[in-house]
Amino acid sequence: MAFSPLNWFLGLFSLDIGIDLGTANTLVYVRGKGIVINEPSWVAVDKKTRRPLAIGSEAKELVGRTPTNIMAVRPLRDGVISEFEITEAMLRYFIDKAHEQSYVPIPRPRVVVGIPSGVTEVEKRAVYDATLAAGARDAYLIEEPMAAAIGAGLPIGEARGSMVLDIGGGTTEIAVFSMGGVVLSRSLRVAGDEMDEDIIQYARTKYNLAIGERMAERVKIDVGSAHSLPEERVAVLRGRNLVTGLPDSVEVSSIEIRGALAESTRTLVNLVKEAIDETPPEIIADLMETGVCLAGGVSQLQGLSERMQGEINMECWVAEDPLTCVARGAGYILDDLDNLARFLVGLERGSTQHS
């Protein structure tokens, strides 16, 4: 980007921000303020003009309730951009909202954005270009497992090994770190969305009940689990009876929902087992002391850490405020960019991440 005196001037008063651009939720960390935005990654658009009408929480409220001329979409799928212009509009909205109290007429911040590990150069470039188009004066990319590890406070710069399992809405990622580098990383497109779909399919198969994504997500949060609970609970599923076509509701137990989620949780456990199997023995010895850190929203699924711990014979612990780890890690980079820039992801073909 060519030098612009106006951008430089506006940049002096803009806030450095870290963004976790997630499939399910977008979180924004502002340097010196912490997490200031945590909203769903939903946008309501006019079908004809593709103009955004509502973004974030307001848009999610419209899911399943929109008139025929409006549709609610998630512009990211499996952690990557599927709708470029809509993602740009969403990013611009969140950048502007983060600056509401700063009195900057046109924000021009430096922005670090988390991206899934293993994405293609085209997908990296899409995030980079969308961030600049949304008003950033400098855009930087960081892989989400690295950002999650930094946000969780793992000693990734030290000689001893550490491991993070980041379970988001669209992707689950696992990475092993040592000496500031990634020893190995794996990505899987089984995460929170897949679990919601498991519950939707269970309700359809067992009870002939059609339920929506929001209902499935609510039940997953309320009574979903990966391990037996001290006290099993019940929840109510509400939707449309597929036989009568009329509204209906059924009461389900946490045991049933755990069964519905069994395949997805087994897949997550197997991912960790495979990563451990490929980890060098010396680092395994370190991990037996430090354990496996769980981050991301789905890491809060009841009993998941206990289930993991029982399966891999190693301590598993949930990071403090796991949902915000990636956004905080991305933001921390800008606190000490000179020393932490080595953790950022570059773009190929000689492009840099500086304007």
Asked if residue 123 lies in contact with residue 141, where contact means CB atoms within 8 angstroms, the answer is no
Residues 6+ apart with CB under 8 A from 306: 226, 227, 316
pLDDT for 354? 43
**Residue 306 predicted with pLDDT over 70:** yes
Order the strands of the 316-318 sheet from edge to edge: 181-188, 172-178, 162-167, 292-295, 316-318
Indicate the pLDDT class of residue 77, thresholds 50, 70 and 90. Answer: confident
Residue 31 is predicted with a pLDDT of: 83
pLDDT (tens digit per residue) in 126-141: 999 999 999 999 999 9
Residue 60 CA, distance from chain mean position: 16
Say if CB 116 and CB 173 are below 8 A apart. Answer: yes
| Position 6 pLDDT exceeds 70 | no
* 8 Å CB contact between 355 and 1: yes
Q: What's the rounded mean pLDDT across residues 329-333?
A: 93
Helix (H, G, I), strand (E, B) or coil at 19: strand
Rounded distance between C-alpha atoms, residue 17 and residue 8, angstroms: 16
User: What is this structure's pTM?
Assistant: 0.88
Written as one letter, the residue type at 71 is M
The string of pLDDT tens digits covering residues 53-71 is 999 999 999 888 888 899 9
Q: What pLDDT is recorded for position 348?
A: 65
Query: From residue 45, how far is each of 57, 62, 75, 96, 107 by CA, in Å?
Result: 14, 11, 11, 19, 24
Instruction: Look at residue 7 in the predicted model and tell me its pLDDT.
Output: 52
Specify the residue for token string 């769903």. Answer: 40
CA distances from 147 to 91, 144, 165, 280, 315 (A): 19, 5, 12, 23, 21
Q: How confident is the model at residue 350 (pLDDT cuts 50, 70, 90)?
A: very low
Opening angle at CA 304, ends 332 and 291, nearest 5: 55
Token pair recorded at residue 172: 């689950």
Q: What is the mean pLDDT of residues 323-348?
A: 90
Every domain of the chain with CATH number 3.30.420.40 lies at 5-146+326-343, 157-318
Q: Quick one: which of 170, 75, 164, 85 has its CA closest to 119?
A: 170
What is the pLDDT, as a whole number, of residue 186? 92
Structural fold of domain 157-318: Nucleotidyltransferase; domain 5 (3.30.420)
Distance, in Å, from the CA atom of 276 to the CA atom of 187, rounded to the nearest integer, reads 14
- Residue 349 identity (one-letter amino acid): R
**How far is Cα 65 from Cα 245, in angstroms, rounded to an integer?**
18
Mean per-residue pLDDT over the chain, rounded: 90
Using DSSP, state whether 342 is helix, strand or coil. Answer: helix
pLDDT at 43 over 80: yes
Class of domain 5-146+326-343: alpha beta
pLDDT tops 80 at residue 211: yes
Task: Average the pLDDT over 311-330 and give the result.
Answer: 95
Q: How far apart are CA 21 and CA 27, in angstroms?
A: 7
Considering only 78-92, 219-233, 314-328, which range has the smallest mean pLDDT?
Answer: 78-92
According to the model, what pLDDT value does residue 351 have?
45
The pLDDT value given to residue 38: 95
CA 303, CA 308: separation in Å to the nearest integer? 9
What's the pLDDT tens digit per position in 242-271? Answer: 999 999 999 999 999 999 999 999 999 999
Indicate the pLDDT class of residue 104, thresholds 50, 70 and 90.
low
